[in-house]
Amino acid sequence: MVNSPRPSVALLAAFLLLPLRLAAAEPQAASGASEAPPTAAVTAITGKITIDGQLDEPEWQSAPKLARLVQRQPNPGQAPTERTEVTLLHDADYLYIGVLALDSEPGRVIGTQMSRDATLGSDDRIEVLLDTFLDQRNAFYFATNPSGALVDGLLSSEQLNTNWDAIWQVRTRRTDRGWIAEFAIPFKSLSFPADRTSWGFNLSRSVYRKLEEIRWSGARLETPFNQVSEAGQITNLVGLKQGIGLDVRPYVAGHWLNRRSTAGSDYAKGHTGLDVFYNITPSLKLTGTLNTDFGETEVDARQINLSRFSVLLPEKRSFFLEDAGVFNFASIGPTPAGGIASTGADIYPFFSRQIGLLAGQEVPIDGGLKLTGKTGRTDLGLLAVQTGDTSFVEGKTFLIGRVRQNLFEQSYVGAIFTDGHPGARQSGQTYGADFRLATSHFLGEKRNFVVDGYALRSANRGVSDDDVSWGFSARYPNDKFDTQFVVREIPRNFRPGLGFVQRSNVRMYRGAVSFNPRPDDFLNIQQMFHDVYYTRFERADTGQLESSDLYITPLDWHFKSGDSVHAVFDPNWIYERLFSNFEIAPGVVLRPGEYRFTRYKASIASASKRRLSGSVNLNWGDYWSGSAEQVSTSLTYKLPPWFTFTLSANQTFARLPEGDFTARIYTSTVNYSFSPQLSLSNLIQFDNRSRNLGWQGRLRWTPVPGRDLFLVFSQGWLKDPTGSGRFTPQDSKLSTKLQYTFRF
């Protein structure tokens, strides 16, 4: 047991200023601040290109290649160990990108997945970024691996949303010299000014077995690939055809439900709906949905909440995920270092799961309209949704508006407004403003620095005070030194009707410093991470200390093999003060009072490039009034690129004077990809709190880009509470959806 650490202005200032002093002592990077980004002309063609992963047409052979790519890591600025040739072509309808990824050991090229929007972090891969408006903030993202996986997304303020699915093609082919990727991106799938002939562009190749990344532009350790401001430019984009900018996507859906849990009869229903996408201007897109269906949506991952505060479940419905980045607000983050918990005080003035879902029950969406895009240097987002009547809530209209005025290269000022409340016979509004001041040339050096701030008010019926939240953060996010300082106040009556708040009536402070060197030729280590994070919560009304957390990572080593020792003996000093009873588990109630406890963490993970990989995380020590061990394990087996099996367990074994309890969640995924166009995913989950075993199987077939068939089957079983190990079948559900895009 230890006393709660107490902050001081000097300590928090030291957290913020230390890396600035250290950075001043660092040597200048090899690429100076005055280095201009590269440019390249795209070759215009009239001949036909067949997308087959071969690059055998004469146009590929005669067109000039991009200037040489350079390493970002492990040796920034040096020549790559494997040669890459990149060729850019265009006709009136497509941008073509051909990549010849030569490899001295072609048998060791890694491509373990084929499914749509797969996570390619453990594969060799090619990534492409297109900043069609040259605004240095937003971009289209495309990626693939040697197995031909299609991954696409939208970048907004350096946040990648891969739930956006474009109509495009890519084909890959392995050869005895490496592998080839051939992209064809229709101009009808992109938004861009009709009179602009230059776009922002960047390309990255990763050779995963060497942990090597090479780039065309911005090849510095301080620059992540999604930092759009570091892209180069491509020119000669003339004579492009966007069409009239209209996509019409009708769909047919059906659902069958067997209600075994309530002894009800079978239920079957079929219906049709429509999604429409129209580019009012090249930079403003109107999206409409009618009789919306989300039957193809993946089920939520199970969680057992052992905290006093709400748990955030991510949005997974496609209508709300597309162009979602425009509604992002400066009241979340900054992102902590790996292995460090978030503050639990993020504020979402608009959280789309508040629409169409209420207390775990689905509310039908009759229709919706969304306008997203930009006009000049202003980003816009408008959303209107109409829900239908149910037995537990009346139909409602929800409105959300967002505007951001871009400043300089990476900064903005903005505002947000929401109108509506999901609860029965309730209403409310939320409005506020935010700003971001960001640069990648801090103090004349190639260094990143970001300052965010916001103020929000929730105007709910019957509430007139303590409803304004505000916050400020500053971060110096760079490769060797990373620091952040955050302050945020969430008063007791701040409750955004269409938003999400994890805890209220608090004032939060966080200060953090990370020192992350890359040693030369020491124990085969790629990078070391050392963190100190201090977080403090005070009650906003009385100023009393409610909780504090001091976490230190003395050793987090990532090896060049891909294996990691994330923690050996990380200490975590925690203070909690309860002002009311807290039922941490059924029948286990913690009384009001002060709790001081110390916990420790150990964590290791093997390289995910291997056919068999896994991780083990162990937390132990004092826990509230007693002690507990928390064990998280994961095991993954791959038969690349078709089959992936993962089994994970998250277990807590607690022994408290108020009572002992065990919390368990078991999760398994079994995925099989027949091809990049046809994949089957299965999610199996069990937790001992609900005693429910659930399975969802999901088949997606895309025979032609823009045409999709989904088949989703869900089944539940309830475990016998007597401990006999018997499971009783519960509800069964089958959903199907066929959608077809007509493009004009």
At 281-321, the pLDDT tens digits run: 888 999 999 998 888 888 889 999 999 998 888 888 888 98
Q: For residue 55, is pLDDT > 80?
A: yes
Strand partners of residue 234: 40, 199
Q: For residue 612, is pLDDT > 60?
A: yes
Residue pair 486/473 in contact (Cβ under 8 Å)? The answer is yes
Q: Which of 34, 35, 227, 235 is nearest to 136 (CA)?
A: 227
CA distance 136 to 230: 8
- For 61, other C-beta atoms within 10 Å of its C-beta total 9
Cα-flanking dihedrals φ and ψ of residue 633, to 5°?
-130, 150
CA distance 181 to 165: 19
CA distance 532 to 552: 5
Confidence band for 264, pLDDT divided at 50, 70 and 90: low
Residue pair 9/190 in contact (Cβ under 8 Å)? The answer is no
Q: List all residues 6 or more positions away from 272 whose beta carbon is below 8 Å from its beta carbon.
A: 250, 251, 252, 253, 291
Q: For residue 26, is pLDDT > 90?
A: no
Q: For residue 116, is pLDDT > 50?
A: yes
182-187-188-193 Cα dihedral, nearest 10 degrees:
150
Mean pLDDT of 60-68: 92
CA distance 101 to 88: 15
The angle formed by the CA atoms of residues 244, 246 and 248, to the nearest 5 degrees, is: 155
C-alpha distances (whole Å) from 225 to each of 198, 216, 462, 579 are 20, 11, 48, 46
Q: For residue 338, is pLDDT > 90?
A: no
- Give 66's DSSP letter: P
Q: Any idea which residue has 């060049």 for tokens?
A: 560
Q: For residue 9, is pLDDT > 50?
A: no
Strand partners of residue 502: none
pLDDT at 267: 74
How is residue 450 written in tokens?
């970001």
**pLDDT for 71-103, tens place per residue?**
999 889 999 999 999 999 999 999 999 999 999
Confidence band for 611, pLDDT divided at 50, 70 and 90: very high
| Order of strands across the sheet that contains 94-102 | 43-44, 84-90, 94-102, 178-186, 169-175
Give the helix ranges, DSSP H, for 130-230: none
Residue pair 135/152 in contact (Cβ under 8 Å)? The answer is no
DSSP characters over 581-629: -EEEETTEEEPSEEEEEEEEEEEEE--TTSSEEEEEEEEEEEETTEEEE
DSSP characters over 102-150: E-SSGGG------STT---TTS-EEEEEEETT--SSEEEEEEE-TT---
For all residues of the chain together, what is the average pLDDT? 91
CA distance 441 to 20: 13
pLDDT at 262: 62
Residue pair 476/484 in contact (Cβ under 8 Å)? The answer is yes
Confidence band for 725, pLDDT divided at 50, 70 and 90: confident
**pLDDT for 214-224, tens place per residue?**
999 999 998 99
Residue pair 171/53 in contact (Cβ under 8 Å)? The answer is yes
Q: For residue 274, is pLDDT > 70?
A: yes
Q: In one letter, which amino acid is 524?
A: N
Which conformational region is residue 24 in: left (phi greater than 0), alpha (psi within -120 to 50 degrees), or beta?
Answer: alpha
DSSP characters over 302-364: P----SSS--------HHHHTTGGGG--TTS-PPPPTTPPP-S--EES--GGGSSEETTEE--
Mean pLDDT of 41-63: 95
Residue pair 158/228 in contact (Cβ under 8 Å)? The answer is yes
CA distance 741 to 678: 18
CA distance 687 to 712: 22
- b/e string for 530-567 if b means 16 or more Cβ within 10 A? bbbbbbbbbebeeeebbbbbbbebeebbbebebbbebb
Give the rounded percent of residues in the chain with a pLDDT score beyond 90. Answer: 74
Query: Greater confidence, 454 or 377?
Result: 454
**pLDDT for 438-456, tens place per residue?**
998 898 888 999 999 999 9
Q: For residue 14, is pLDDT > 80?
A: no
**Residue 641, preceding peptide bond in cis (omega within 30° of 0):** yes
Cα Dmax for the chain: 78
Which CATH code fits 36-235? 2.60.40.1190
**pLDDT for 479-532, tens place per residue?**
999 999 999 999 999 999 999 999 999 999 999 999 999 998 888 999 999 999
pLDDT at 331: 94
Query: Greater confidence, 6 or 218?
Result: 218
Q: Which CATH number fits domain 1-30+305-516: 3.40.50, 2.40.160, 1.10.10, 2.50.20?
A: 2.40.160
pLDDT at 263: 59
**Residue 74, preceding peptide bond in cis (omega within 30° of 0):** yes
Residue pair 3/596 in contact (Cβ under 8 Å)? The answer is yes
End-to-end Cα distance, the chain: 68
Q: Which of 82, 86, 80, 83 is nearest to 66 (CA)?
A: 86
Strand partners of residue 658: none
CA distance 360 to 176: 53
Q: Where are the domains of the chain?
A: 1-30+305-516, 36-235
Q: Model pTM?
A: 0.88
Q: For residue 642, is pLDDT > 80?
A: yes
- Helix (H) and strand (E) counts for the chain? 3, 45
CA distance 50 to 32: 41
